[in-house]
Structure 1
Amino acid sequence: MLDSCRRVFPRQTIVLEFKVKGKTTQYAAIDAAIRTAQFVRNKCIRYWMDNRALGQKELYRYNTALRAEFPFVKTLNSHACQASVERAYNSIARFYDNCKRQVPGQKRYPKFKKNCRSVEYKTSGWALSQTRKQITFTDKKGMGKLKLKGTWDLNFYQIDQIKRVRLVRRADGYYVQFVIRLDLQVDTNSTGRTIGLDVGLNEFYTDSNGHSEPNPRFYRKSEKRLKSRLRRVSRKKKGSTNRKKAINRLGRAHLKISRQRQEHAKKIARCVIQSNDLVAYEDLRIRNLVKNHCLAKSINDAGWYQFRKWLEHFGIKLGKITVAINPAYTTQNCSNCGTVVKKSLSTRTHICKCGLELDRDWNAARNILNLALGTTGHVGTWILNPNASGDSTSTQAGEILSGQVESMNEESSRL
C-alpha cells in the first residue's frame, strides 16, 4: 500500500492564462501599450550604457522623467512602466552576475528589444468584473473591457492574491496572464521506485529499466508545411497586407509546433515524476550541444530543455527528488563492472568483457541512476526546504538535496 500525505508549499506562484476577445481598436491599443513598454525598457538600457554604476532606484527616477517628457509614456499605467524598468534592470543584473561568476563565452550583455510581445501590469491599472469573466484596463491607452476565454475559474482566488497581470501577443491572438500567489496543497504518494533517464535523438529517452519513449519529432513532421508557408511569404511584396497575412500563417505553424513540444514534455515529465520517488537525468548544456550544425535541428526538435524543466517543476510540486548528473563517461562506462568501453556514436550496443550486453542508452541510464544513488544515499524521503527561495529547482550531483526550491510560473495548480 502506498503512503499518502499532503504537503503544503507556502507562498507559491501560479499563472492562469486566458485568451482575450475584443475589437480591432482594442487590439491596436494593446499593441500600443506593448510598444510603450518596449520603449521604456530600451531607454533605461541606453541610460545605463551612458551612465554606468546605476542602480534600480536611478532607473525608477529616469522612468519618472520619461513620463514627464513623452505624453505617450504617461498614458501607460505607472506600474506597467515600473515593470518595464524592472525588466531592464534584470538584464543588467544578469550581465553583472555572469561577469562575477566568470561564465565562459558571451556574458549576455543587455540588448535592445525590437519585437516585444508583452506588457506587464502590477496591482493597479486593471479591474476584474463581478463575474470574473471580463477585465478592464483603466489607463489611458484605450484598451477598455476585454472578454476572458478560458476554463479556469478566477472566483477561487482573492483579488489581492493576483500580483501581476500580463498582456501577451502571439501569432494566433492576444492573451492575458494572471500571476497568483497562494499556499499550495498537494497530495503525494511514495512509490519506493527510482529511475535514471538518458535522453537521445533516436528515442526521446531511455530509462534504467530498459523502457524507451519514442521521439515525436514535431518539427521534422511539419517541415514540408513550414517550407510551403515560407515560400508564400517570400513571394509577397514587402510591406504589403498579403505579406503580413502570410507571415502570420507562418507564425501560427511555428506556434503549433512549440505548443506540441511543450505539452509532450509536460505530459511525459509528470508521468515519470508520479511513478518514481527519485529521478536522475543528465545535466546537459544544450547551448553547447547545438553548436554542432549537423545535430542542432534534431536537438532543438527533441526539446530536452523543456523536458528537464518540467521534471524539476513536478519534482518539487509532488515532493519527489530530482538529481542532475554530469553526463561525462555515462555512455562509455559499463554499468555492471565500471570498465571503460569506448564506442563511437554509430555503435548502438554496449558489449563488455564482464558479459553485459545491452543498448548503449540503457547502459547510460543505469550509470546515471547509480551516480544519483551514490549522491543521495537514500531514497523515498520527501526532502524540501520550505523556507528556501529562488529559481533553481534541480539538485546537482554532490549538492545537498534540501536545497531544492521551486519557481512555479508556468503551470496552474490544477495540473
Structure 2
Amino acid sequence: MIVLEFKLKGKAHQYRIIDEMIRTAQFVRNKTLKYWTENQGVKLVNLYKQCAIMAKEFEWASKLNSMARQASAERAIFAIQRFFANCKAKKLGKKGYPQFKKHTRSVEYKTSGWSLSTDKRCLTFKDGFAAGKFKLIGSRDLHFYAPDEIERIRIVRRADGYYAQFCINVERKEEPVPTGKAIGIDVGLNHFYTDSDCETVANPRYLRKSEKALKRLQKRVSRKKKGSGNRKKAINKLGRKHLKVSRQRKDFAIKTALCAVKSSDFVACEELLVRNMVKNHKLAKSISDATWDQFAQWLEYFGKIYGKTVVAVAPQYSSQDCSNCGNLVKKTLSTRTHICGCGVILDRDRNASLNILAKGLKQARINSNTAGHAEINAWEQTDLYSLVVTSTSKSTG
C-alpha cells in the first residue's frame, strides 16, 4: 500500500462544501460510537447498518456517499476493536476507550462517489454534496496505476489548504544493494543519533529554532477578539507555522532513516516508549522535537522495502553496560564518557550503540534459528555477525 498526496485547487465555495463533508463524516462516526455505548454487547456488524439508518433519518447525512459513510463508521469500529485488543493484552496504563471527535479534519471515500479525469489531473466528487471538479497539484503521476488499484481517497484539511490522498494497493519493492555493514543506532538529544561506526547525525531542533516565531504568532492570536475575522487569520498563520515545523521533522526523519537503511544490511535501534519519556517535563519538549518515534517507524518501513534487516531491542542498560567486557558502569545522564575498569574509554553514545548492535545481532540470530532460516545473511555473501564482532573488538581493544 502506498499513498500519493496532491493538493486540491478549487474555488472558495467548493472548499466550504468539503468542510460540510468532513462535518458529516464526523457526525456519522460519533453517532456510530454513541449507538455502541448505548447498546453494550451489540455486534460490530450491526454498526455498519447504522449508516443506512442515519441516511434515512437525516436528509443532509444522505448527501454523503454511502461508502464514505461506511468509512466514517469504520473509524469508530477500529477504535472499539483497538480498545478491546488493549484490554485483552492487559496493556499498561490507559486502554484507549473510544472518544467522540470534535475536530475531525478528513473524510474518506472508497471506490464510488468520485472520478478522475482522462488525464488524471482532476478529481470530481459525484455524491449529494456535489463539490465539483478540483485540479490536482503534485509531482506524482497517477497514470502508472490502474483505477481498480486505488482503494480509497482521503480528503484532508490542513492550515495551508485541502489535500487528496490516494491509497493505492500496490506493493513497493526496491532492489537491495548489499553493503556488508551492520550498525547499531543510539538516539539522543545532543546528537540525533550516534552509530557503532562513530558516525553522528546532528539534531536539527526545528521546534527550538521556530519557538520565537511561534510565540509571536500565539500572542497575535491572543490579542484578537474572539470570533472576529482577524482572529481566524491569526490562527491560520499560527497553524501554518506549526505545519511547517511538523513537515520539517517528517522530512528529516524520512531522509535520515533512508540513508541509514541504504548504507547498511543490518540496523539495530532502541525500542523506545516515547509517550512515557515525555512525562519528564524537563526533557519533554526536546524529546518531542527529536521525533525518535517517526524515525523508528521509517526505519522499519524502509527495511521492508529494501530487504534489509531492522531490529528493535530493549534499551535497558545500553548506556550503563561496557561494550567490551559487559560490566555495569553506573553513570548519570550528565556523564558523557564511558570509562571502564577494563581500560575502555568511549563516548557514552558510542558505547550504547555498540551494545545495541550486539543485542540486535543476538536477537536476530535467535529469531532466525526459530524461523528456520537466516535473516542476517540475506544474500549469502558475508557473515555479518563475524564481521561486526571483529570490527567491534578492534575498535574497543
TM-score (norm 1): 0.88
Q: Which amino acid aligns with 1:74?
A: S
1:58 aligns with 2:46: yes
Q: Which amino acid aligns with 1:279?
A: V
Q: Distance in 1 between matches of 2:102 and 2:20?
A: 14
More strand per residue: 1
Q: Which amino acid aligns with 1:87?
A: R
1:285 aligns with 2:266: no
Q: Distance in 2 between matches of 1:382 and 1:72?
A: 58
State the number of aligned residues. Answer: 371
Q: Distance in 2 between matches of 1:224 and 1:19?
A: 29
Number of the residue aligned with 2:76: 88
The match for 1:265 among 227, 240, 253 is 253
Number of the residue aligned with 1:229: 217
Number of the residue aligned with 1:344: 332
Q: Distance in 2 between matches of 1:158 and 1:56?
A: 32
Choose 46-55 or 27-36, whichever is displaced more: 46-55
1:297 aligns with 2:267: no
Q: Distance in 2 between matches of 1:19 and 1:223?
A: 27
Contact 2:173 2:306 in 1 (8 A): no
Identify if the C-alpha distance between structure 1 residues 272 and 20 changes in structure 2 by more than 3 Å, giving closer, same or farther. same
Q: Distance in 1 between matches of 2:193 and 2:325?
A: 23
Q: Which amino acid aligns with 2:149?
A: Q
Structure 2: which 5+ residue stretches go unaligned?
A: 366-373, 381-397
Contact 2:63 2:127 in 1 (8 A): yes
The match for 1:133 among 98, 112, 121 is 121
Q: Which amino acid aligns with 1:84?
A: S
Q: Secondary structure at the match of 2:249?
A: helix
1:380 aligns with 2:380: no
1:70 aligns with 2:58: yes
Residue identity over aligned pairs, in percent, reads 56
The match for 2:17 among 29, 38, 42 is 29
Q: Distance in 2 between matches of 1:296 and 1:380?
A: 39
RMSD value, Cα: 1.0
Q: Which amino acid aligns with 2:108?
A: E
Q: Secondary structure at the match of 2:90?
A: coil
For residues 11-39 of structure 1, the C-alpha deviation after alignment (integer angstroms, 9 at most, x for no partner) is xx100000000011100000000000000
Q: With CA pairs under 8 Å and 6+ residues apart, which has the higher RCO, 1 or 2?
A: 1
1:213 aligns with 2:201: yes
The match for 1:354 among 303, 317, 342 is 342
Choose 179-188 or 25-34, whichever is displaced more: 179-188
1:107 aligns with 2:95: yes
Quote how far apart the aligned CAs of 1:185 are: 3.9
Number of the residue aligned with 1:44: 32
TM-score (norm 2): 0.92
More helix per residue: 2
Structure 1: which 5+ residue stretches go unaligned?
A: 1-12, 384-415
Q: Secondary structure at the match of 1:189?
A: coil
Q: Which amino acid aligns with 1:141?
A: F
Q: Distance in 1 between matches of 2:107 and 2:162?
A: 11
Choose 293-302 or 181-190, whichever is displaced more: 181-190
Number of the residue aligned with 2:162: 174
Q: Distance in 2 between matches of 1:186 and 1:193?
A: 18
Quote how far apart the aligned CAs of 1:183 are: 4.0
